[in-house]
Amino acid sequence: MSLSDQIRQIKNRIAYLRDSVSVSPEEIAAYLSISTEAYNEYESGDSDIPISMIYGIAHALGVDATEIMTGEAPRMSSYSVTRKNKGIKVERYKGYDFEALAYNFIDRDKEPMLVTIEPSDERPELVTHSGQEFNYVLEGKVGVIIGAKTIELDVGDSIYFNPMIPHGQIAIGGKVRFLTIIDK
């Protein structure tokens, strides 16, 4: 599925869910602390929706983010196994892929994802979200930008940080893969 198809499906699910629970765009924008105009750009598909916004919108609508990303609700409550390369793929930025690893577990309070980043000459858009975040490098060298500082991490290195500080990750010298766990 192409990125544009995925964005279209996500925006359609958000609009449908928002209408279903009778929540206005203004209410969701206020909940997310963004302008109504910015929210409307996400819902219309005029702006790409950062993964952190998908989680915020899901929370505002009272659904699991899995429902927005896949159209299906999580089903498992005792355990959930995700086989190699079988997580939900979410490509939010060119060269920046997420694979949700616990998407089928009901009421999870952590979001583990495998992240793959291709090298790019462009600095990533920095994002913020609630909770806490942990990154563990599996392959390559990652630059973790937190505010004005960039911290370089090699295979086996990890970082735990406050994601309310604008942050992002970059590939240094080649493709990188890391595990991220976000406490929602």
Domains of the chain by start residue, with CATH: 3-70 (1.10.260.40), 88-183 (2.60.120.10)
The pLDDT assigned to 174 comes to 95
Residue 3 pLDDT grade (very low, low, confident, very high; cuts 50, 70, 90): low
Nearest Cα neighbor of 88 from 73, 75, 99, 104 is 99
**Alpha-carbon span 105 to 119, nearest angstrom:** 32
pLDDT in tens, 26-36: 999 999 999 99
Residue 183 pLDDT grade (very low, low, confident, very high; cuts 50, 70, 90): confident
The pLDDT assigned to 13 comes to 93
Least confident of 5-14, 78-87, 137-146: 5-14
pTM of the model: 0.79
**Alpha-carbon span 29 to 120, nearest angstrom:** 31
Residue 47 pLDDT grade (very low, low, confident, very high; cuts 50, 70, 90): confident
